């Protein structure tokens, strides 16, 4: 199972902490964490996943795999810019949005369009997004659903 | 100038009427109407534009230009599926969203990300979208800005 | 009918002359000329088409429509880089390759893959490409086929 | 290091044997094998890589990761059709072409355009492709270069 963690490439310390917790939980469930491969929420989630031995994939907007954050195992360069947001969602079974701006909104839109389960923590309040308050609640939701 | 009209591929008669009015006004301003090339809001807007001699471009999701609605002058096939939403916005100077579901939301997200003026009529209430009540108000906004 | 003219973004004067002749003939047949929108063979072909009142579409690799050569009527920006080569071919009914390097080779490959008629003048010698010696021979081939 | 093995989705037994040998050697060098994820040359190469404990990535043209051959560790769906050929090459440090038709030719073209080392076995004879006769010769070339 691939779980996407989406959110901004910059974020405050509190959001990073939530993202790191989510990353840990994703890895503990045995899922692969997929994301946009950059900094901010993406990096914090990957750091969490790697801290407990998880696996991470980063779908990068540019042509240079060195743009991936240091916790990405499998960087995939695309040269697609923000169109790559669609690929992140396409490759995920479940999407967890944390905070984020317009880029994250485009990913939420694609996730809902593809009718994939989409959880949200402190993020866009869009009908269809299952709002949860923290990593634990997200994981509980996912486990109940399996 | 290219003005994108975005919205769902199916819509009710009232929304179609608004889209048709918008299409007319876009053409009367001398702008080219760009859209996703399909039915619903897209077709109604193109019908409006063509009724007053305007020019229309349709950026299609599939490989077959015959999928374009009958009011498209320049069909561009992409085979990109919903990733083509990004191209519609990229090719527009101003975006007008009418009604619409998740596909339209993804276009609004990309439009805001690209910092392009984005007007909305009966559509997603996203910060940054300039909400207007009808075609006239949309055109007034655009003319004031020029 | 859309006819793609493909070839390098730089070329010698002799090749430009051929491209310009081809552009004229494409327009005289009533076809729309589609190309990558840039300089070299693309610009020469568009110049020819416009000199006799033809219509031209440029599918650009970048995000800036001002990168289009001055003879492009409808610039379409993509941000897809060389992946846009596939879109040029996808939107053409017939492809004419003139000179060109690896980019042109990728377009010839896609054209043959899509089983579209592909003519070549002083270009890659790939099985399936119909080699002709000049604009007149290319046009004769196209007219015989219609 | 990522090494792409490119070739047709169907191939004869002899070609499959070569592809399997290449896959083994790629894995033995400690490189990750990247390919289009489907059958034929791609599957044979992945089978070889997995038989010696290698790692494989498949960049798929469609939306369904179950289209990946059984030897793919990391399937990446794209929905890009043959445009995904460009992504395979973009993610490789070295490209090895075996046999193949127009799809393979498009990948060779992109590889040469990106100025990446491109080896060929029984494939298109394009200037710039380093023709080798078998897996051993390919590996020798790569090792000498490192």
pLDDT tens-place string over residues D13-47: 999 999 999 999 999 999 999 999 999 999 999 99
Residue A84: closest CA among chain B residues belongs to which residue? B83
Cα–Cα distances in Å, from A2 out to A57, A96, A124, A130? 9, 11, 22, 18
CB contact under 8 A, A106 and B113: yes
Mention every residue, 6+ apart, whose C-beta is less than 8 A from residue D13: none
Q: Is pLDDT of C146 > 90? A: no
Determine contact: A87 vs chain D, CB below 8 A: yes
The C-alpha of D69 sits at a distance from chain A's nearest C-alpha, in angstroms, of 17
DSSP of A118-132 = EEEESS---TT-EE-
CB contact under 8 A, A78 and D87: yes
- What is the per-residue pLDDT across C49-61, written as a single tens digit (0 to 9) for each? 999 999 999 999 9
Chain A neighbours, 3+ Cβ pairs < 8 A? B, C, D
CB contact under 8 A, C102 and D113: yes
Q: 3-state DSSP call for residue B112?
A: helix
Q: Which of A56, A74, A83, A111 to mutate to test the interface with D (most CBs of D within 10 A)?
A: A74
Which residues in chain D are contacts of C112 at CB distance < 8 A? 102, 105
Structure token digits, residue B8:
């769902």
CB contact under 8 A, D105 and C112: yes
What element of type H or E holds B90? helix B84-90
Separation CA C34–CA C2 (nearest Å)? 6
Residue D80: closest CA among chain C residues belongs to which residue? C83
pTM of the model: 0.97
Asked whether the CA dihedral C69, C74, C78, C80 is positive or negative, the reply is negative
Closest CA to C49 of C72, C68, C69: C72
Structure token digits, residue B31:
């702008």
The C-alpha of D121 sits at a distance from chain A's nearest C-alpha, in angstroms, of 26
CB contact under 8 A, C103 and D112: no
Spell B93-114 as b/e; 16+ CB within 10 A means b: ebbbbbbbbbbbbbbbbbbbbb
Q: Is pLDDT of A145 > 90? A: no
Separation CA A134–CA B52 (nearest Å)? 54
Percent of chain A with pLDDT over 90: 99
Structure token digits, residue D61:
């043209």
- What's the whole-number mean pLDDT along residues B45-58? 98
Backbone angles phi, psi at A53, to 5 degrees: 80, 20
Determine contact: B128 vs chain D, CB below 8 A: no
Digit-by-digit pLDDT tens for chain D (146 residues) are 999 999 999 999 999 999 999 999 999 999 999 999 999 999 999 999 999 999 999 999 999 999 999 999 999 999 999 999 999 999 999 999 999 999 999 999 999 999 999 999 999 999 999 999 999 999 999 999 87
């Amino acid at each position: 199972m691939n779980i996407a963690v989406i959110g901004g490439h910059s974020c405050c310390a509190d959001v990073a902490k939530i993202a790191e917790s989510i990353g840990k939980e994703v890895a503990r469930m045995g899922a692969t964490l997929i994301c946009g491969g950059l900094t901010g929420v993406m990096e914090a989630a990957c750091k969490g996943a790697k801290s407990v031995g998880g696996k991470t994939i980063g779908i990068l907007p540019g042509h240079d795999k060195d743009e991936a954050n240091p916790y990405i195992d499998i960087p995939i360069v695309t040269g697609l810019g923000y169109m790559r947001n669609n690929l992140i969602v396409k490759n995920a079974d479940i999407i967890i949005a944390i905070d984020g701006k317009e880029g994250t909104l485009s990913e939420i839109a694609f996730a809902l369009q593809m009718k994939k389960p989409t959880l949200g923590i402190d993020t866009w309040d869009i009908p269809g997004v299952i709002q949860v308050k923290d990593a634990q609640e997200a994981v509980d939701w996912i486990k109940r659903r399996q």
